[in-house]
Structure 1
């Protein structure tokens, strides 16, 4: 007789077990399939974005007249991607306008001031669904009103040639790297994107922009792709060969080049992200943004700080996150504690690596029209060169251009803020630049690692007399949520007149890395290092004559993106406004709209409305899918500037 302990499994028990195993295996297979599909779709989207960016770069390197719309099919990893690029002309006349807009220059220039390029890539995903991605950029002709750049063709050569297209003022300013006003071959440096791009993730920010230096003699260029990222980190401790030394530019054979000793693994303090809800670059930021004694001795450190303030390991100080969040003062963080960090990073060989901190030296504010004007633009570019020269020689900084004050009629106007940054150079590097200046070398500026950046959307703006004019200083947001009235953008530096008189408009920018992301200081060294710039605004009020007023407001635009069987609302891009028109029933009233960069809220303004007038303002578009709410604004017996009347736009294509 078989005991209970010796008895085997019954057929029913075996059958039940097999069913349970089968169900579990089926779930695992399904889960694996889901993971695989997600990975494939991510790879497809990454490939599509690379294709779109590559096409945009190809357009940038074309001759200006050859930058036209087109299409192509690109094969990548066995899949066909359909690429369509749409190029639209852009004219600057009281703001940027394109064909069909009201208020275009008359007569129309033979060539547009700039061209907006939208590159759209579509493909069929592995699951059979339609998918798409897009990028956009602005390109400008050679003789832009940004310093009178000249392109002279060098002798024929076998190497690939690069055609340089200067960026469009007022968003982008090209700085000639020569003191010779008669030079026909020289280097040019500019921040290529109209404004820094601001992203947010769980309240933390990352700002990216490019700087390009183009050499006309050799028709080559160096592109520096920067990211400044905000992280919440946690101290781990001192470790061997985990953290890296900073990357930086040094002077070799009279040319700026990457330091071969940069990015090396050394023994030093390291950190790690305190949680997973942060930008991916926080892994490198938390790990590498620490110094050691050897780095201090060599002068190649991430953050400048006095020797007395540094830790025994040579590291610069870090401060507890709670100190800044709760406003309880600056308390130094210790091992295993959380601390706030902001890192400047540069893309090197395809990867972002941590760079020495930003060092802001000067800021300047002006109207958009000031920077578009050729003479004023040249004045500002000369000022930038003078600032860098004074910093190198250890002299007092020159005063900002004194012709920036403006007299305006009633209306809304976008102001521009710009900042100058200079990286620390080694003693030998600095002495080489000083010698070049003293020896009268016209191209001494090619040896200096400086950057001129449009920080309109990152500075803090204020008007001294809000009874005369107000200026926007909205919270930095990039959230898209129609129900909560967020539109993926925000406004700073937009001036709206209220009444006749004078006001002083000021923009204040924080020094160091936090200034780039628009945050308060996170280190004691940065407290009090903010720099401001001001300009006087006079609003005309003509006594005894007809008084004029304005109607203005913002465009709150959302685009309904359809992917396969799903759709989602996304914030509109510049090209989505192509074909938009604003017209007033009074033909003497001029209406226009403009915006600065892809993160700014577009604004419209109808100026020159005579006191007591009654009229209507109508919004329309050549795009039948663009719906305005309201589409018409009625003004009756106007006696003051109308309160801002914002327009909601929904685009269904």
Structure 2
């Protein structure tokens, strides 16, 4: 019998057909996943835009219509607030110039609580225009219902939309904020049992055996080209094996577009100070100096930011200044391009500024700029281990002591390098910031440090801020490790999956090898809102971390 080796033509044809069917199925599956990822990304953008509009409508400052102010009465269908109805162009990725058009619209209905069963007692909410409403209605509707809709088209031309429903009452934003933070009838802070977050995002620093500090990942509010963030930090005390919240420290950092105006009255900054062995805040005072005005359609705090954030030689001499550059009072510039600046000198000249507002006694006051000391990169789960958290607290302590004593910073933390397989992984970055202190207060803390008095740590006004979604990231070897840097977006609910808000600080391990990943930021307020440098000085003083080595193995 004659033996044959190899494959018959029929076998080859069958194998080829099976392979082609498999490839076609794989391509179809990949296309499905690409479409799904793109659609989810656009949906997240639409939800973010709807939330921005909701916050915009909520931020009215007066009830009745008033020229130049956002009012409750002006909120009607497709009117009210700063964000206008219609097409809104959104840039999805930091590295791309292409924008995606979204359609933003909202419907508003005035609601009235009325008596519908003739017992002289109001019992039902009815919308404006309802036949059962009485002929005479209040001038101001006691409630407005909102439906905010954002529509878009996916890459295949399919029309999609999301809707957000909410309600408004005629309580101005500034007044409602004060009510939330006030202790009615009691000047002492209300003790609240505090459960420290265990999400590995918010690091609990034990200051001593009885006191701990835990920051919260910042909320982020994007308004067109400018960004505002809210930083909160809990100072808690351990009593009877339970944490009791003793103080909630809250700050806003807001980016603004300004124009120089005529000189006039403006405030000096609120300053951290040590008085009577305790950390406190000295409020600023008015003085005659240069001023600016805010362009329209920005954060409500920009008016005060543009007006007050100016330094004079007298302010520098008394240490009551906002920010120094090369040892002098800071100047203002209009950024024309990468490292291209035009100084604002005459009335009407444009410039950019970023201000910090600190909450004192329930109200926000414009404060001196924060000083960034370090930025450190981690694997996202690095601080899940207690020994790593303890090492980080010790590092923070050494950094603060070096700043106070005006000595060299300690070497970067060790033990952060990671070995990973191919795929996508989230990294994290934390920035250590400190409020600027008067020279005499720094000298006092230095005395405590040199005498081994551990009270100094509790008196240092520092903030450990999760800057993962705000920092700029880079990879030393993009062939092995690519890094995703999506444009900064609004993040409101930090209690949910914070890093899923948008992709920033996410590495893509593409091939075997290694790379070093760096996070960087401007060293002043501007870095906290992802702003480009405000001046030539800032452009030369960008803070970059020591880097995190990523080794890719099978």
- TM (norm. structure 1) is 0.54
Conservation of the 8 A alpha-carbon contact between 2:232 and 2:250: yes
Conservation of the 8 A alpha-carbon contact between 2:354 and 2:525: yes
* CA distance in 1 between partners of 2:339 and 2:384 (Å): 45
User: Deviation string for 1:385-419 (max 9, x for gaps)?
Assistant: 11111111222111122100011123321100001
Matched, 1:476 2:500: no
Distance 1:519 1:269, change over 3 A: same
Deviation at 1:219? 3.9
Secondary structure, counterpart of 1:525 in structure 2: helix
Matched, 1:201 2:233: no
Matched, 1:305 2:316: no
* CA distance in 1 between partners of 2:339 and 2:451 (Å): 53
* CA distance in 1 between partners of 2:222 and 2:189 (Å): 41
Matched, 1:229 2:259: no
Conservation of the 8 A alpha-carbon contact between 1:284 and 1:353: no
* CA distance in 1 between partners of 2:483 and 2:529 (Å): 20
* CA distance in 2 between partners of 1:372 and 1:399 (Å): 22
1:175 maps to 205
Conservation of the 8 A alpha-carbon contact between 2:145 and 2:166: no
Conservation of the 8 A alpha-carbon contact between 1:358 and 1:423: yes
* CA distance in 1 between partners of 2:380 and 2:260 (Å): 45
1:277 maps to 297
Alignment of 1:84-99 (within 5 A): none
Conservation of the 8 A alpha-carbon contact between 1:248 and 1:258: yes
- TM (norm. structure 2) is 0.63
Secondary structure, counterpart of 1:475 in structure 2: coil
User: Deviation string for 1:544-598 (max 9, x for gaps)?
Assistant: xxxxxxxxxxxxxxxxxxxxxxxxxxxxxxxxxxxxxxxxxxxxxxxxxxxxxxx
Secondary structure, counterpart of 1:371 in structure 2: helix
Alignment of 1:604-619 (within 5 A): none
Distance 1:306 1:507, change over 3 A: closer
1:335 maps to 346
* CA distance in 2 between partners of 1:79 and 1:520 (Å): 55
Secondary structure, counterpart of 1:163 in structure 2: strand
1:295 maps to 315
Conservation of the 8 A alpha-carbon contact between 2:481 and 2:509: yes
Conservation of the 8 A alpha-carbon contact between 1:212 and 1:222: yes
Deviation at 1:451? 1.0
Which segment is superposed worse, 406-415 or 124-133?
124-133
Distance 1:352 1:161, change over 3 A: closer
Distance 1:296 1:402, change over 3 A: same
* CA distance in 2 between partners of 1:501 and 1:133 (Å): 54
Unaligned runs of 5+ in 1: 1-30, 46-74, 82-123, 135-157, 311-315, 480-487, 542-653
2:332 maps to 318
1:422 maps to 434
Conservation of the 8 A alpha-carbon contact between 1:461 and 1:507: yes
Secondary structure, counterpart of 2:550 in structure 1: strand
Aligned length: 382
Of 246, 255, 263, 1:238 maps to: 263
Deviation at 1:326? 4.0
Secondary structure, counterpart of 1:216 in structure 2: strand
Conservation of the 8 A alpha-carbon contact between 1:202 and 1:277: no
* CA distance in 2 between partners of 1:79 and 1:317 (Å): 59
* CA distance in 1 between partners of 2:411 and 2:122 (Å): 57
Conservation of the 8 A alpha-carbon contact between 1:412 and 1:497: yes
* CA distance in 1 between partners of 2:212 and 2:456 (Å): 13
Deviation at 1:228? 1.1
2:22 maps to none
1:391 maps to 403
Conservation of the 8 A alpha-carbon contact between 2:219 and 2:230: yes
